[in-house]
Each structure stands twice: as structure tokens, then as C-alpha cells.
Structure 1
Amino acid sequence: MSETSTHTSSTLPRRQLGRYLRDWRTRAGLTIAEAAKLMEWGATTLQRLEKGQADRIRTIDIEALCRIYGIPDDIAEGLKGLAQQTAVKSWWHAYGDLIPEDFDVFVGLEASARRLTAYQCELVPGLVQTVDYARALNTLGYPANSAAELERRVQLRLQRQVLITRRHQPANLEVVLCESVLRRVVGSAKVMAAQLRHLADLSTLDNVELRVLPFSSGVPLGLSSGPYILLEFGADAKGQPVEPPVVYVEGFTGDLYLERETDVRRYRQAHEQLLRSALDISASRHLLRQVAKEFMV
């Protein structure tokens, strides 16, 4: 099937909108049939909206659903912003543009992933951060926040980690970390030592593969790809992807979501090259524990 004919009506913003609406409908204790009746719709109409397959989405309808489900105003604003996004394969989400800055689009996407493939050259990824590492980053990143708000941010980040640590069907995580991530001090030497030991311990899990790209490997790609996360969402009974894979590229003023097959393929190829240049899992674990000891000297 050609790239242009696949998932043409199922863009990422609309899928995220549908995912949030489905979750809030469930919280409200309503079936699709009951909610659709309140909207004076057929059940199929609401079902298509929840699957991100609605051809036409009206803001007034999203507002009505938000009222029915009891969705808080701040989240409702984010959902209305998602509803207004253009149907595109590559989506640049600028912070505060239509969608409020505090509305986290990525978290809902991440929670639905079955496999995450990541590369980081600056920071430890959020899914594998310790509480002290996360707190140190948030303190620097949100200096105007109160202590209570900072703690809320930290706890939200920790809650996301259940995705890979839960007993039932944990997501698979494959990460390549530049050696610079291990040696860049966040918080303090004590915080870094604990963080690196945590990474080493996590790498013993069956669903976690963590490799370090050492300084000695140079620049395997010949250019900088920047950090990225490739998210995949599993397959249905017929072996077809439940949703198309997405490459997430985090930016300072906004985030980029790439769905085009050519873009996803290029990131896959880049990751394969990074894996070939990285240490194997055992050697990476050894280096993590070695650098952790160095921080405590």
C-alpha cells in the first residue's frame, strides 16, 4: 500500500484527541452508545472520533463532549486545540499555539506505545530518570514554580515510568545514550551516581535494552541527529500496526512529530548505525557502574 493511502484520515493530533476523549468518557462511566445519545449522534460517529478517523471535527462538538464528561477547563482547551490542527503527516506543535503550553500531547502518545526506541546525547530520558535527577532538572527548568508545583511535575514524570516497569505487558524500551549523558552533572555527584546505578539496574530487565555510545566512537552518522524517540504501538490480530509509528523530536519552543514512512525509515536506519557503534549491553552496564563509582570518589 502506498504511503499516501495509508492512515490518510488518522493524523496524530486527531488520534490524540480521540484517545483523550475515550479516556475521559470511561472516567465518566459512559458507554459509547450512552455518550453518543447525549450528543444526538449515532454510536459510529463517536467511535470514529475516538479512533482519530473523523473527517470533520467541530470545536463546538468537542466543547459539548468536554461538558458531558466533566473535563477540566485547562484540558478542554488543549482538546479544542488538537481539534483545530491541520491534517498533516509531519506536525510541529509550537508551545502555546492553539494548544496551551501546559497541555502535554506527548504523554498520552507515550502511554499507548508498545515499543520505544530512543537516542539521547544530553539528558537521561524521562522514562528512566530517578526522582532526584528529575527534581534537579525541573528546578532548573521551571524556576518560577512553587515547591508544590515542582513536586507535582516530578511525580507525574515518575508515574509515566510504570509503562516499562509494570508486570503486565510492559512496553519495550531500547535506548542509546551518549557517554556525555553519563558524565554531565545534573544535581550533584551523588545524584549522578544514583542515576547511573539505576540505569544499570534497569538494563537487567528483559524489556529494557540500554547501550552507551562511547566518546571513542566519534560521530557515527557523520552529522548530529539530535535526540529522538521512535514510538510503535503494536499490531492487531491481522499483524497490521494498530497505529502508524511516530518519531518524536523534542524542541525548546515546540515538538516535532513525524509520521511519513520516509522520515521514520531514516530514523530507523540512523538508530541501527548508532547501535553498531555503541557498546553492547553488558559493556554498557559495566561502564555505567564504573562512572557511578567515579562520581563517589
Structure 2
Amino acid sequence: MTSSNSTLLMSRVTFGRALRRLRSQVNHFKIAEVASVLGCDVSLISRIETGKRVCSQEHFAKLMDLYEVPAPQRDELAELHAATREQRPPWWSPYSEVISAQYERFLGFEAAASIVHEYQVGILPGLLQTEAYAQAVTGVGFTSLGPDQIDALVEVRGLRQRHCLLETESPLECHYVVTQAALDFQVGGKRTHQEQLEYLLNISTHDSVDLRVVPYGKGEEAAQIAAFRILQFSDEDVPDVAFGESVAGSLTMDDPRDLRRLHRLFRSLTDAALSPDESRDIITHTKNKEV
């Protein structure tokens, strides 16, 4: 039930989803009823089902009995339950002092995802950024941090690129839509801007990267939409999850209704965008007009 790219977080999410299905769809229990049998708070059951809390061995045994899980399925769930308790430090663990809880949660999902759909309005997707570009946007976005902390976050972004796209046998399938404004904004000065556009031309030919640009002529279809990304997983037991961006920070969305709306929105943005070849042409034009 687990795959080679599963993380501790994803094991917990998968396990929690299986428990929720057993409770609500198979046995038709309410959370309060389960909590009463286990002698715990409703919030504990909810957090276990959403992957935010580890299920103890005692609670696992009681849940299997309560849900009358047959032996073969119980063995599978026991294997997955064991995976939720393994202490396998992820690659980003050395940066725990500068990574927020929300960012760590995102990294866990991204590490286990197989596909990403991302839309950006004013900046370029993190997995496509050069180090200098990342340094510039991180320095502005985290003004309360010191230089060493900003450098650490830039290193994390570079490691994300290596683990998810550049140095892996199973790269993340990346579908990106960005506005033409994101190409025009001069981030980090002229030289950094030029290097970033050149890098975009190169990385956009990667087999796992589909990059499309919404031109200014289609601005009404893109300008009023905030940045977001949707992560999808090869494991059918793991639902899609989305992250929206705003001045208040990142918002995690896993409600099926929100996800359906975001998928429709991304399809509309893709339809408004230029083709990958036309998008590379506009990147080249943007780069050459500054020379």
C-alpha cells in the first residue's frame, strides 16, 4: 500500500483516509460514537483521520475490532499503520529551524506527489527558479529573517528542484501556467532577470515540464486569480490536495468541492494560455528586448 516515494506524512494521510472510509462508509459511525468507544476526544479521531496525529497501537486494535475488519484487510492496515510510526527523517529535516509547519506539510505532500498543476501571477514557480532569482524573492518575502535563514530557505528550494525534478528517476510531472507579467517583472536586477529567462527556456524543454504563458491580451482571464497549486498522487487512496497563496499565507484545501473548482479553473487558464512552443517564443522575445 505504500510506494517508494511515500513520506511519513503521506503514510499517515493514506492510513487516516482508510480509517475514515471504514467509519463513515462501511460502518456508518459518527466520530462522536467512535470517540466514546475509545474513551478519547472527538478531536483525536478527527486528527488521526486527517493524518495530523499518529494512531496508537491500542487505538488501532480497538478500531479494527469496532469496525470488524477482516483478517486480510487488517494485515494491510497494520502494515500501513506501522509505516505511520517509522521515524524516517526527510531530506529537509536539517532545515527544521527555518521551515514553518505549513511549509513542512507542503514539502511532505510535494515529495510524494506525482503531478502538480500550478498557476502563478507575478513570480515564477519555485521549481523553475534560478538560485539568484530565488534569493531575491525570498529576501523580500521573508524580511523578518536574517541572511543566514534566507540562505537556508534558498537551499531548500534548490534541494526541492533536485529531489522533485532534476536528479530523480521519477520526476514530478509539472504543469505550469504563468502570466506574461511574471516574465516581465525584473526580479533581482537585469542580470538575474536575463539568467532566469535563459534558464526558463532550457528547463521548459524538460520531459516533465509543461510551461504555458497567459499573454497580456488574455489578461481578464488571469489577472483576478490568486496563485495556487494542486498536487496529485499515484496512490488512488490519497486524495488531491491544493495550496492557495495570499497575503495571509498559504491555505491548504482538500475539500472535494474546492478541488473540483480549482481543476476547472486550471483548465480554463490552460485554454487561455499560449502553447508550450508559443510560450517559449514569448520568453525569448522578453529576453531579447532587454539586450
Identify the TM-score tier after normalising by the shorter chain: 0.5 to 0.7
Task: Find the counterpart in structure 1 of residue 65 from structure 2.
Answer: none
Shift of 1:280: 0.4
Shift of 1:231: 0.3
Q: Distance in 2 between matches of 1:46 and 1:151?
A: 39
Query: 1:214 and 1:11, CA in 2 relative to 1: closer, same or farther beyond 3 A?
Result: farther
SS in 2 for 1:109: helix
Structure-1-length-normalised TM-score: 0.66
| Residue 120 (structure 1) aligned with residue 115 (structure 2) | no
Amino acid at match of 2:165: I
Shift of 1:49: 7.3
Q: Distance in 1 between matches of 2:197 and 2:204?
A: 11
Task: Find the counterpart in structure 2 of residue 288 from structure 1.
Answer: 283
Amino acid at match of 1:107: L
Contact map agreement 1:16 1:105 (CA 8 A) in 2: no
| Residue 249 (structure 1) aligned with residue 285 (structure 2) | no
SS in 1 for 2:220: coil
Contact map agreement 2:120 2:228 (CA 8 A) in 1: yes
Task: Find the counterpart in structure 2 of residue 129 from structure 1.
Answer: 129
For residues 136-155 of structure 1, what are the structure 2 equivalents within 5 Å?
Answer: 136-155=136-155
Task: Find the counterpart in structure 2 of residue 170 from structure 1.
Answer: 171
Query: 1:178 and 1:47, CA in 2 relative to 1: closer, same or farther beyond 3 A?
Result: same
Of stretches 257-266 and 154-163 in structure 1, the one that deviates more from structure 2 is 257-266
Structure with the higher helix share, 1 or 2: 2
Contact map agreement 1:247 1:257 (CA 8 A) in 2: yes
Amino acid at match of 1:229: R
| Residue 104 (structure 1) aligned with residue 73 (structure 2) | no
Q: Distance in 1 between matches of 2:168 and 2:107?
A: 20
Shift of 1:225: 2.7
- Once the two structures are aligned, what percentage of the paired residues are identical? 23
For residues 72-91 of structure 1, what are the structure 2 equivalents within 5 Å?
Answer: none
Query: 1:107 and 1:192, CA in 2 relative to 1: closer, same or farther beyond 3 A?
Result: same
Shift of 1:145: 3.1
Query: 1:138 and 1:218, CA in 2 relative to 1: closer, same or farther beyond 3 A?
Result: closer
| Residue 261 (structure 1) aligned with residue 264 (structure 2) | no
Q: Distance in 2 between matches of 1:136 and 1:156?
A: 15
SS in 2 for 1:199: helix
Question: Which protein is bigger by CA-based radius of gyration?
Answer: 2
Task: Find the counterpart in structure 2 of residue 205 from structure 1.
Answer: 206
Q: Distance in 1 between matches of 2:219 and 2:22?
A: 38
Structure-2-length-normalised TM-score: 0.68
Of stretches 241-250 and 9-18 in structure 1, the one that deviates more from structure 2 is 9-18
